[in-house]
């Protein structure tokens, strides 16, 4: 067991590098999907090739729950630090394969097979990133600042979206389409590889979580069956966590990933303007992530999450209706600003709220399986559901219906938090009193 005095700043940076790489990979692969379709899936039909590229992209979400289980249990049994070290290494391997794999024209079927393998590696490794890193952050935080420390995970995701959007704007404005499709896209992934070794180095040198060290030395060792304990001893906490993840994941993908594409393709706003509005929205959200997280440290997670969830449900439809009726760059800026205020207010307290639903012995396992299973459906597949709803109804306001639905699910979860007792100071949640659990079951 590593007993070195932890450097909290180094731990925060090391924990968030993996989140940056995960977000970097997601945006880069989705943005260059048309390139992957041409280079690795040449079927003779452009739509079929693009669907194959998107299917390969989606493979990462299929294996993420498996990665969440494996790395969650590993982090609860072996330690947060070794889990994070191996995850960063595997992430770098996956990005490197994508960066250097020759096209189908050069090596035949080996090309798309290698891309598929890379996506599987990335999905498996990313499945353990959020749970392990969040557990490490809340367990190393100074007293009364768990929300602030854990919120850096959400801030890193948003920062990566802004940075990648800016990078892609610069590339598309400075490079010809031929250069971008020929070799420019590879530069993005080569740059991404650099994050891996830096993360590996920093994570291998940081100290283990103090709470995990106490579990090993003072509490009889790690849990023997952490995954089984999650569902046998904390089923209500897991269900509550699932609802919180629904609103967080769906909101993130809708506002930061889907909305720019929707504005450009459905409303006729230029893609450049849409990306600029997204960057602006990200900057607004960063402020509110840290603000709401700090307020949650002082007043409690639920006190901040409840009004934020209510506002999200009430405001999201009028926002989309206003954008649809007045489609312009200025309107999009206003909509992005308001939407990101709401999303930031939800996202700030969220990681700490999730971590406090489980005791340290099973924290990574609990977050890992629930976060990835629910996030894959309501986050990764969210754009698919919205697009399907658009095509069936023909109603341009369909994204708002999806947002309101996921918002209501999240609001119910925030309400149900009153029936599970957590300790935001020490982060060691206790099981809810039996009478309150029974009362909740009766209400449901």
**Is 332 inside any structural domain?**
yes
| Residue 385: how many other CB atoms lie within 10 Å | 17
Q: Which of 387, 373, 403 is nearest to 255 (CA)?
A: 403
Q: Are 305 and 248 in contact (CB under 8 A)?
A: no
**Is 86 inside any structural domain?**
yes
Residue 45's pLDDT is what? Answer: 66
Looking at 141-258, list the stretches that DSSP marks H as alpha helix, in order from N- to C-terminal side: 146-174, 177-179, 185-205, 210-218, 226-233, 235-252
| Residue 294: how many other CB atoms lie within 10 Å | 18
Q: Which of 375, 344, 345 is nearest to 253 (CA)?
A: 375
CA–CA dist 280, 269 (Å, integer) = 16
Structure tokens at 366: 């609990």
Which residue's structure tokens are 């290494």? 89
Query: Mean pLDDT, 10 residues at a time, over the chain (444 residues)?
Result: 56 85 76 81 71 76 90 92 91 90 89 90 89 90 90 92 86 85 85 80 85 79 85 91 92 87 86 91 96 94 95 93 93 95 95 92 92 85 76 82 92 88 43 42 41
**Is 2 inside any structural domain?**
no
> What is the dihedral sign for C-alpha 292, 294, 299, 301?
positive
Phi and psi at 269, nearest 5°, equal -80, 140
Q: Are 115 and 41 in contact (CB under 8 A)?
A: no
Helix (H) or strand (E) holding 369: helix 363-375
Looking at 127-176, list the stretches that DSSP marks H as alpha helix, in order from N- to C-terminal side: 129-140, 146-174
**Is 377 inside any structural domain?**
yes
Q: Are 12 and 136 in contact (CB under 8 A)?
A: no
Residue 155's pLDDT is what? Answer: 94
| Residue 142: how many other CB atoms lie within 10 Å | 9
Q: Are 271 and 171 in contact (CB under 8 A)?
A: no
Residue 294's pLDDT is what? Answer: 95
Burial class (CB in 10 A: 0-12, 13-18, 19+), 163: middle
CA–CA dist 200, 84 (Å, integer) = 8
For residue 345, what are the CA distances in angstroms to 166, 296, 303, 307? 24, 10, 11, 9
**Is 3 inside any structural domain?**
no
| Radius of gyration for the chain, computed over Cα atoms and rounded to the nearest angstrom | 21
CATH code: domain of residue 274: 1.20.1250.20
Provide the domain limits for residue 26.
8-443
> What is the dihedral sign for C-alpha 193, 199, 204, 208?
negative
**Is 180 inside any structural domain?**
yes
Structure tokens at 230: 């999650």
Question: What is 268-310 written as a DSSP string?
Answer: ---HHHHHHHHHHHHHHHHHHHHHHHHHHHHH-HHHHHHHHHH
Which residue's structure tokens are 């007993």? 3
For residue 62, what are the CA distances in angstroms to 34, 124, 127, 373? 21, 9, 10, 9
Residue 365's pLDDT is what? Answer: 93
**Is 1 inside any structural domain?**
no
3-state secondary structure of 164: helix
CA–CA dist 22, 262 (Å, integer) = 23
Which residue's structure tokens are 């607004």? 284
Which residue's structure tokens are 């209706």? 321
Exposure pattern of 255-283 as b/e (b: 16+ CB <10 Å)? bbbbbbbbbbeebebeeebbbbbbbbbbe
**Is 385 inside any structural domain?**
yes
CA 111 to chain centre: 28
CA atoms within 13 A on the CB side of 192: 34
Which residue's structure tokens are 């639905």? 405
Q: How many structural domains compose the chain?
A: 1
CA–CA dist 84, 75 (Å, integer) = 8
């Amino acid at each position: 067991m590593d007993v070195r005095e932890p450097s909290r700043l180094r731990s925060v940076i090391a924990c968030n590098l993996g989140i940056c790489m995960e977000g970097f990979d997601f945006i880069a692969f989705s943005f260059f999907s048309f390139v992957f379709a041409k280079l690795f899936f040449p079927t003779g039909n452009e739509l079929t090739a693009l669907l194959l590229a998107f299917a390969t992209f989606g493979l990462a979400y299929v294996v993420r729950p498996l990665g969440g289980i494996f790395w969650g249990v590993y982090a609860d049994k072996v330690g947060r630090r070794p889990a994070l070290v191996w995850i960063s290494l595997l992430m770098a391997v996956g990005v490197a394969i994508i960066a250097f794999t020759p096209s189908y024209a050069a090596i035949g079927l080996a090309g798309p097979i290698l891309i598929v393998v890379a996506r599987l590696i990335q999905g498996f490794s990313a499945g353990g990133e959020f749970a392990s890193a969040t557990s490490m952050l809340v367990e190393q935080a100074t007293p009364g600042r768990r929300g602030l420390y854990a919120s850096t995970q959400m801030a890193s995701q948003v920062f990566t979206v802004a940075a990648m959007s800016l990078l892609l704007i610069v590339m598309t404005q400075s490079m010809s389409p031929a250069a971008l499709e020929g070799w420019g896209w590879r530069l993005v992934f080569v740059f991404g590889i650099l994050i891996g070794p830096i993360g590996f180095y920093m994570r291998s040198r940081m100290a283990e979580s103090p709470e995990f060290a106490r579990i090993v030395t003072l509490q009889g060792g790690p849990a023997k069956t952490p995954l089984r304990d999650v569902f046998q001893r904390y089923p209500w906490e897991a269900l509550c966590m699932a609802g919180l993840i629904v609103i967080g994941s769906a909101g993130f993908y809708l506002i930061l990933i889907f909305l720019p594409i929707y504005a450009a393709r459905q409303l006729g706003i230029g893609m450049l303007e849409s990306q600029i509005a997204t960057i602006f929205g990200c900057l607004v959200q960063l402020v509110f992530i840290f603000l709401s997280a700090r307020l949650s440290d002082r007043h409690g997670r639920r006190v901040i999450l409840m009004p934020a969830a209510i506002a999200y449900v009430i405001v999201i439809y009028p926002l989309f209706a206003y954008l649809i009726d007045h489609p312009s760059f200025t309107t999009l800026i206003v909509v992005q600003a308001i939407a990101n205020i709401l999303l930031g207010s939800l996202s700030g307290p969220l990681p700490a709220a999730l971590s406090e639903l489980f005791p340290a012995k099973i924290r990574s396992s609990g977050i890992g399986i629930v976060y990835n299973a629910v996030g894959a459906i309501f986050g990764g597949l969210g754009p698919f559901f919205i697009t399907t709803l658009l095509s069936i109804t023909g109603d341009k306001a369909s994204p708002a219906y999806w947002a309101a639905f996921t918002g209501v699910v999240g609001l119910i979860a925030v309400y149900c938090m009153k029936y599970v007792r957590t300790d935001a100071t020490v982060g060691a949640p206790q099981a809810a009193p039996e009478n309150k659990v029974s009362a909740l079951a009766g209400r449901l």
